[in-house]
Structure 1
Amino acid sequence: MTDKQIKDQAAIREIFTCWSAAARNKDLGGVMALYSDDICSYDAVGPLQFSGREDYRAHWERCMAFDDEFIMEPQEPIIRVSGHLAVARFLIRCGMRKKDGTEQASWMRSSYHLEKQGGEWRIAHEHFSVPFDFENGAAQFGLQP
């Protein structure tokens, strides 16, 4: 791996550190600063697709309207970099914690396509998913890594 790839991987790791901290702190500006203008997201929460900054910002605003605390606990990302493009993947524990301490959270899968734009890495595509049972179609929220 080249020195440039090592530096790019470190910069991308920092994006995910900032992303999870901003989400937990309900810092909408901090979250949105990490996305490209033409972000496409396949979030675990419907609709099927969010297209563009305005669409995804409105989704994040709805998510942050709850009084509950966000749970955003990503595992260490696996990152591949080639030129101005990168992909990353990791498991992440996501959900909400109520004021009484009860949680509604599960492990999910996440993958990312990032692009270097104007010398800065930005998230251009993200995909979250929850596995489901093939036989009955039920989401498998209880799986552990």
Structure 2
Amino acid sequence: MSNDTAEITALVERWARAVHEGDLAGVLADHTDDIVMFDVPPPEQGVRGIDAYRATWPPFFDWQRQGACFEIDTIEVTAGDRVAFAQALLRCADADTLRTDPDQRLRLTLGFRREEGRWQVAHEHHSFTLHP
């Protein structure tokens, strides 16, 4: 594993742990000011900018405190000199959903830019598959 791959993997693991713990400062760390996120809930056009990104998390934390999990299952990283991306599958569900659909996974794609010598998330995309 290259140093960049290891650094990005650790960054994603820290972010996921911060999400699980409801640590907003940890969630925001390592994100660019011009972050673009496409999320499961609306708005369909996504959110742009760190302030809009910040505003999406408190409702998620409220839901998660009701017993939901947020854990990385698998992660793959591809890194170049200035840009990189990671794709991951996460367990993100409440206990009832995990009981009825234990294989459900949140799909996560992250785009990174190296700025001032460190990797930062510039693009984030979350999705679930639709079940009939």
Q: TM-score, length-normalised on structure 1?
A: 0.78
Instruction: Report the 3-state secondary structure (helix = DSSP H, G, I; strand = E; otherwise coil) of the residue aligned with 1:65.
Output: helix
**8 Å Cα contact 1:24-1:69 kept in structure 2:** no
Higher RCO, Cα 8 Å, sep 6+: 2
Q: Residues 103 and 42 (structure 1 numbering): CA distance in 2 closer, same or farther, change over 3 Å?
A: same
Residue 101 (structure 2) aligns with: none
RMSD: 1.8
Residue 78 (structure 1) aligns with: 76
Residue 55 (structure 2) aligns with: 58
Moved over 6 A (4+): none
Gaps of 5+ in 2: 99-103
Gaps of 5+ in 1: 97-101, 132-138
- Identity, % of aligned pairs? 27
Q: Distance in 2 between matches of 1:8 and 1:24?
A: 24
**8 Å Cα contact 1:23-1:70 kept in structure 2:** no
> How many pairs align?
125
Q: Distance in 2 between matches of 1:124 and 1:23?
A: 17
Deviation at 1:34? 2.4
Q: TM-score, length-normalised on structure 2?
A: 0.85
Q: Which has the larger radius of gyration?
A: 1
Q: How is 1:97-136 mapped onto 2 (pairs within 5 angstroms)?
A: 102-104=95-97, 106-131=104-129
